[in-house]
Structure 1
Amino acid sequence: MDFSYRQEEEDFRRVVREWVDQEVPKSWARELERNEHHYPFDLWDKFTEAGFHGIGIDEAYGGSGGDVVVQMIVARELARSLAGLTWIWGITSFAGGKSIGLYGSEEQKRRFLPEIVAGKARFSIGFTEPGGGTDLLGAMRTSARKVDGGWVVNGHKTWCSASHVADYILLLARTDSAVEKRHQGLSLFVLPAKSQGVTIREIPKLGMRAMGSCDVFLDDAFIPDELLLGEPGEAWYMLLPTLNNERIMLSSFCLGILDGVLEDALEYMTHREAFGHTIGQFQALQHYIANIAMSRKQAELCVMEAATLQAHGKPAGIEATMAKVIASEAAVNAADLGIQILGGMGYAAETDMQRYWRDARLFRIGPVTNEMARNIIAENLGLPRSF
């Protein structure tokens, strides 16, 4: 199969790359990370001005359209410079644009999608619960009780990225406990983040520091009926088709990190001298570069296959899961080799290798751990369920 870009996609990729180099260079990304407790609103505004919030949203709602391949191009090119901070664009694109675009009523689409395109609505995701991690269903304690005109929600969500500056949180809650299976009786809501009864606290963490990740505490928070997304009790069936999109997007972030690592390593090896030679002449370091390049090619082929299948409406679940594992592990390993190539400078905050490593390391954990992803792949090959 041919997974190369069509001419219009290649032209678009070139435009995005030029924009990244001019508007959000690596030096600026490093500065954003130094201000780790200050959400980069300027970065959000740059995405708005470039029209990136409209990608993937139907033109009928002010968007520019574009399939998952186009989204992948944007994700990859942004991450070459921004690494994990690309999620500042990606979270709203996924939680708001994708989820509401797929499952929202016409009224909800007309309310939210133009706001997202205009950069006036930031979204966060409230799925994970303390003590749960990948065991999302087993740990689900957040509940929503039906009352006149809406729902009253109580519970605790964690790792809700950028929820401290979000306008809305895409919230998963149990609305029916009298079910035979744990995936039944779950509902999806668009929770206004500043609602009474919502308390948000930032979590100090290793990477993506400027973006912020948070605990969200829900104490009798009220959500009106019009902010229920889809049918009550059907959230799990709604979410499953979006998992491929999320995994492809994350894999594309990893491809961008691989691009940035290789670019920086080659630049450093061309100019750094030791023992009377540029270090690019050292065989061991050349092997590191070759390993990074080969792993990037492997990841690229897997991500392109998954994105192409998804864009053509074909099953892509296992391909997207494989791409997530392969790309995330390749990105972490490449960044680690990049630190080794740069030596002490790779460990310094004035270069980007340490930032690539810190951000990529999360992608082996979320939104599904690579161990759990391997279980899914093995089960698909006919082995018994292991969890």
Structure 2
Amino acid sequence: MDFDLTEEQRAFRDMVRRWVEAEAPKSWARELEKNEHDYPFALWDKMAAAGFHGIGIDEAYGGQGGDVTMQCIFAREVARTLGGLLWAWGLTSFAGAKSIGLYGSPAQKQKFLPAIAEGRCRVSISFTEPGGGTDVLGTLKTTAERVDGGWVISGEKIWSTAAHVADYLLVLVRTDKNVEKRHHGLSLFFVPARSKGITITSLPKLGMRGIASCTVHYDQVFVPDDLVLGEPGRAWYMLLPTLNNERILVGAQCLGAIDGVLEDAVAYAKDRHAFGKPIGQFQAIQHYIADIATARQQTELLMFYCAWLQSRGEDCGIQANMLKMVASENAVHAADLGIQILGGMGYSAETDMQRYWRDHRILRIAPISNEMVRNSIAESLGLPRSY
């Protein structure tokens, strides 16, 4: 098992790193998040000009190609400075490119994938419902009724990030109420975000402030048949293969954040003096930095292992869940230690430690809570289901 990057992967990593240093430094990230209910259009446009929206999209549709490892390399490098602003890329990459690439029709692929690759189409995920959280299936009330030529959607979603600037919404709805199991009778729709009957409202939040999250109301929204993704009623089976990819990319984002935390912590420990010496000479500070470095190594190994499994076509559901859990907890703890190392300046909006903490605290909760991840790991070992 060799996790060393190939020559092509190293060249790609170095290219992205140069781009990040020149076009997306940490100081710019702090400026972008001041518009906490807005959207980083300038970042989106820079990524489009560099061709980054095409990562993971087949070259036949105008993309750059690349497997999950290439996506991880990109996500890690960008998150090192931008943190949660990575999702200006990640949302459309997952909700649009990945979903359509896996279960879109040939016509849908031809229509949407080139537009996504060129940066002409933004997509938001519209799955979670008020009061639902991790219990997506148990609380799903949004429905779609069959009508002539399509479907009519009614319901409400919450935490649909960047819905207010999206061109399309990837919406999970119930199309059949008479089912034996909750995951039966669900369908996926690719809904134009400006359709009649859609109302979008931004939500104030703790972190990821540069990209607003929203509630989305669907009031008798008509969606034509050609915007149904895959087979109606089988959405849950289609979504399962994409969930591992999402969790692996969350791990990559968290790893990038730890990179950013560690470089800031080491630099500050060298430059800041107290009691006549650099604080990096104090044993307590050294232990904090050693813990951050160890967390980074642990997260990196698990991320590349999961990416390796997925690239081989192997089932990595449990491992991807483990990565999501470990990476999110490591990132938040590393940022918390970083704040402690910087002291008062760590709490200041003039530095990035508090931003890393705020942006990644949500990832202990979403896209699945770490408590639910632990349940799934225990169940995989033969223990009874706890919920």
Alignment of 1:118 with 2:118, yes or no, is yes
Matches within 5 A, 1:120-269: 120-269=120-269
RMSD: 0.6
The 3-state SS of whatever aligns with 2:131 is: coil
Task: For residue 312 of structure 1, report the CA deviation from its aligned partner.
Answer: 1.2
Task: For residue 3 of structure 1, report the CA deviation from its aligned partner.
Answer: 1.6
How far apart are the structure 1 equivalents of 2:202 and 2:38?
Answer: 11
**Relative to structure 2, which stretch is displaced further, 37-46 or 331-340?**
37-46
Unmatched runs of 5 consecutive residues or more in structure 2: none
Which residue of structure 2 aligns with residue 56 of structure 1? Answer: 56
Which residue of structure 1 aligns with residue 21 of structure 2? Answer: 21
Matches within 5 A, 1:197-346: 197-346=197-346
TM-score (norm 2): 0.99
Which residue of structure 2 aligns with residue 31 of structure 1? Answer: 31
2:31 partner amino acid: E
How far apart are the structure 2 equivalents of 1:24 and 1:259?
Answer: 15
Deviation by residue 1:180-199 (Cα, 9 ceiling, x = unmatched): 00000000000000000000
How far apart are the structure 1 equivalents of 2:148 and 2:35?
Answer: 44
How far apart are the structure 2 equivalents of 1:245 and 1:36?
Answer: 27
Deviation by residue 1:87-109 (Cα, 9 ceiling, x = unmatched): 11000000000000000000000
Task: For residue 4 of structure 1, report the CA deviation from its aligned partner.
Answer: 2.0
Deviation by residue 1:156-176 (Cα, 9 ceiling, x = unmatched): 000000000000000000000
Task: For residue 38 of structure 1, report the CA deviation from its aligned partner.
Answer: 2.3
How far apart are the structure 2 equivalents of 1:26 and 1:210?
Answer: 13
How far apart are the structure 1 equivalents of 2:53 and 2:240?
Answer: 23
Task: For residue 34 of structure 1, report the CA deviation from its aligned partner.
Answer: 1.3
1:63 partner amino acid: G
Matches within 5 A, 1:307-386: 307-386=307-386
* Equivalent pair of 2:126/2:157 in contact (CA under 8 Å): yes
The 3-state SS of whatever aligns with 2:364 is: coil
How far apart are the structure 2 equivalents of 1:264 and 1:288?
Answer: 13
Number of matched pairs: 387
How far apart are the structure 2 equivalents of 1:178 and 1:232?
Answer: 14
Hey, which bits of structure 1, 4+ residues long, moved more than 2 A? none
How far apart are the structure 1 equivalents of 2:124 and 2:304?
Answer: 27
Task: For residue 295 of structure 1, report the CA deviation from its aligned partner.
Answer: 0.8
The 3-state SS of whatever aligns with 2:223 is: strand
How far apart are the structure 2 equivalents of 1:124 and 1:352?
Answer: 27
Deviation by residue 1:300-336 (Cα, 9 ceiling, x = unmatched): 1111100111011111111111000000000000000
How far apart are the structure 2 equivalents of 1:33 and 1:45?
Answer: 16
The 3-state SS of whatever aligns with 2:33 is: helix
* Equivalent pair of 2:37/2:204 in contact (CA under 8 Å): no
Task: For residue 225 of structure 1, report the CA deviation from its aligned partner.
Answer: 0.4
How far apart are the structure 1 equivalents of 2:266 and 2:228?
Answer: 50
* Equivalent pair of 2:258/2:334 in contact (CA under 8 Å): yes
